[in-house]
Amino acid sequence: MDYLKIQGNTKLGGAINISGAKNAALPLIAMTILAKGDLTITNLPEVVDIKTLLKLLGNLGAEYTFENNVLQINTSGVHHTKATYDIVKTMRASILVLGPLLARFGHCEVSLPGGCAIGQRPIDLHLKALEHMGAKITIEAGYVRAEAPSGLVGCDIIFDKITVTGTANIVMAAALARGTTTIINAAREPEVVQLCEILRDSGVQIDGIGTAVLKIKGSDTELVDMKSFSVIPDRIEIGTYLCAAAITKSELTLNNIRLDHLGAIISKLEEMGCTFTKGEDSLTIHPAATIKAVDIVTQEYPGFPTDMQAQFLALATQAEGVSTIEERLFENRFMHVSELQRLGADIKVNGHTATIKGATKLSGTDVMATDLRASSALVLAAMVADGETSIHRIYHLDRGYEKLEKKLEAVGAKIERLKE
């Protein structure tokens, strides 16, 4: 297994090119199940989760090539509809094939994803919504078996909780349903917006894009004549590198970004004392001489993103004063805390709230990545710790960050990937 060795007291400088968004790419790849003929998707990040979902689609019969961030795919050959445990257990977002497979074929089996580090991650809202659209859903031997032999029927869906992949699943199912589906309490994340925009640009009638009420007029199982497209930039990758600049008190420019996706992240960094120079599709961060403590509550978009919680928690260890971070979306998303404490951080967790005493000198040691975003938080802390830090189990990091150590090394970080 690989690990990262990082020298502390790092200074960064220069520019980083941002990759396509993993969490936009995953539903967009699942969406190709709805497409007629060949399709090209560009700016696709070469990360493990993307390769896993492509492998799943290949197992179902899709044909594709994926190189240099370009995917050429044709799903007309899909003739299996069972997403097996061996793949689904490695990536819960595989559940995104449920809606499209059911809508196109009228039946499918998708393994229940099983446990996840950051929380129980149920899919009850996905299943309840599909049942409401006429599907018969049973759970057998760890698999979701879904059947809708006469097709799905559009209806009103009210999500009890805002769910990103739940919204994506139902948007895709509704695109091929008979009649109109209204989704109330829909997720408004940019990743969901892009999925809706691509479907609309391909001829599916969707109203309310970017709002909490989506109205989708289905094609009654007619496949979509899908247009090729490019994946939006990864707002969480952007936020992660902004935190790298802030924590090392370095000026850094990020290219290929979407400013309109970064409101909550930029606002919180400004509150901590950073300032910004904004370009058309670039952003330069000017670090705070003294990082101010803050209070953060994670929320659904456009609120502060839970996927930035770990990175800001690492940053808060270097702020002047005491910060608090309340994690409202997941029940177990503080596993980076005990690893940061190994580096010397002064953090107390009480229920869903972490209290971070700032201006703490960190000292390098061996630490262990526990999940995707926790891994990047450890990289940030290691760059300001005294001495050397080794971060183990970085297969978590490789799921969602493209060439992270190469991008940081190119702007001055002393970071290398080694074999255990």
Which residues belong to the active site?
Answer: 116
Nearer to ligand EPZ among residue 87 and residue 359 (C-beta):
87
Pinpoint the alpha helices (H) of 177-231. Answer: 190-201
Nearer to ligand EPZ among residue 109 and residue 362 (C-beta):
109
Nearest residue to 52 via CA among 66, 39, 42: 66
Nearer to ligand EPZ among residue 323 and residue 375 (C-beta):
375
Positions that interact with ligand EPZ (CB under 6 A) = 23, 26, 93, 119, 121-126, 161, 163-166, 191, 306-307, 329-330, 372-373, 400
DSSP secondary structure string for all residues of 255-312 = ES--GGG-HHHHHHHHHTT-EEEE-SSEEEEE--SSPBP-EEEB-STTSB-GGGHHHH
Directed axis angle between helix 372-384 and helix 309-316, to 10°?
A: 20
| CA 303 and chain centroid, separation | 15
Asked if residue 98 lies in contact with residue 112, where contact means CB atoms within 8 angstroms, the answer is no
* Sheet bearing 229-230, strands edge to edge: 63-67, 70-74, 38-42, 229-230
Query: Smallest gap, in angstroms, from Cβ of residue 163 to ligand EPZ?
Result: 3
Query: Smallest gap, in angstroms, from Cβ of residue 207 to ligand EPZ?
Result: 22
Asked if residue 212 lies in contact with residue 245, where contact means CB atoms within 8 angstroms, the answer is no
- The CA distance from 309 to 260, in Å, is 20
Nearer to ligand EPZ among residue 310 and residue 385 (C-beta):
310
- The CA distance from 215 to 196, in Å, is 10
Query: Smallest gap, in angstroms, from Cβ of residue 132 to ligand EPZ?
Result: 13
- The CA distance from 21 to 95, in Å, is 18
Query: Smallest gap, in angstroms, from Cβ of residue 374 to ligand EPZ?
Result: 9
Token pair, residue 356, equals 């971070």
Nearer to ligand EPZ among residue 220 and residue 331 (C-beta):
331
Query: Smallest gap, in angstroms, from Cβ of residue 364 to ligand EPZ?
Result: 25
Nearer to ligand EPZ among residue 191 and residue 364 (C-beta):
191
- The CA distance from 297 to 5, in Å, is 32
Query: Smallest gap, in angstroms, from Cβ of residue 400 to ligand EPZ?
Result: 5
Query: Smallest gap, in angstroms, from Cβ of residue 359 to ligand EPZ?
Result: 28
SS3 79: coil
CB atoms within 10 A of CB 77: 11
Instruction: Please give, one letter per residue, the 3-state secondary structure of 87-107.
Output: HHCCCHHHHHHHHHHHHHHCE
Nearer to ligand EPZ among residue 10 and residue 109 (C-beta):
109
What are the distances in angstroms from CA 46 to CA 19, 58, 119, 414? 9, 17, 26, 23
Query: Smallest gap, in angstroms, from Cβ of residue 129 to ligand EPZ?
Result: 9
Nearer to ligand EPZ among residue 3 and residue 330 (C-beta):
330
Q: Is residue 190 reached through a cis peptide bond, with omega within 30 degrees of 0 on the bond before it? A: no
